[in-house]
A = this chain, B = another copy of it.
Amino acid sequence: MQKLEPSIKDDVQQILETIIYLYTESRRITKELARRAQLTGPQLTVVKILEQIGDLSLSELSEKIRAQNSTVTGIIDRMEREGLVVRERSTADRRVVIIKLTAKGSQLAEDIPIEPMKVFQSALSSLTKDEMRELLRILSKVSKRVKAIVRRDVDEAVGDKAKELEGQDR
């Protein structure tokens, strides 16, 4: 079943693990920074986004933090309970709820000096310009491949295509 030669297989495994590491680390950092302000990770994200962009509708906010509306409703519920944000009906479109930072929320945003993503930006900045280009090029290639595979094999008939997919492993 495994047709990759060992060293290649190890590379693949290590790359996957590194990507997973980078992602989970980003969440860990967010969480750690948030903890110091008595916030949760997602709450810190919301506070920082509202500070930078200004008021947003719930849907816009959901899109920014890549979560479903129903998830964000809960996050905002808890933040409103803590007095960090307020909900306001839009006068232009009364279906829309606008989320605004309160004074307390703004103060908190200021108190947290660093955005979680800054750590990654800083780390990436240690690469040479060429390395950065190369990284982006290769990651994009992988990304495109994943998208193609997903379209063909996962979204349609995983079962039928499984053998074929494994056949490509060599």
A residues with a Cβ closer than 8 A to B are 4, 8, 11-12, 14-16, 18-25, 29, 32-33, 36, 66, 112-114, 117-127, 129, 131-136, 138-143, 145-146, 149-150, 153-155, 158-159, 161-163, 165-166, 168-170
| Contacts known (A25-B146, A120-B16, A142-B127); A132 close to B11, Cβ less than 8 A | yes
Bound-state CA distance A123–B140 (Å) is: 11
Bound-state CA distance A123–B114 (Å) is: 35
Question: Do residues A19 and B23 form an inter-chain contact, with CB atoms below 8 A?
Answer: yes
Question: Do residues A150 and B66 form an inter-chain contact, with CB atoms below 8 A?
Answer: no
Instruction: Choose from B23, B123, B135, B162 the contact partner of A23 (Cβ within 8 Å).
Output: B23
Dominant secondary structure at the A interface: helix
Question: Do residues A123 and B145 form an inter-chain contact, with CB atoms below 8 A?
Answer: yes
Question: Do residues A126 and B145 form an inter-chain contact, with CB atoms below 8 A?
Answer: yes
> How far in angstroms is the closest Cβ of chain B from A148?
8
Instruction: Choose from B19, B133, B169 the contact partner of A22 (Cβ within 8 Å).
Output: B19
Bound-state CA distance A145–B128 (Å) is: 13
Bound-state CA distance A42–B170 (Å) is: 28
| Contacts known (A24-B66, A158-B113, A168-B125); A18 close to B139, Cβ less than 8 A | yes
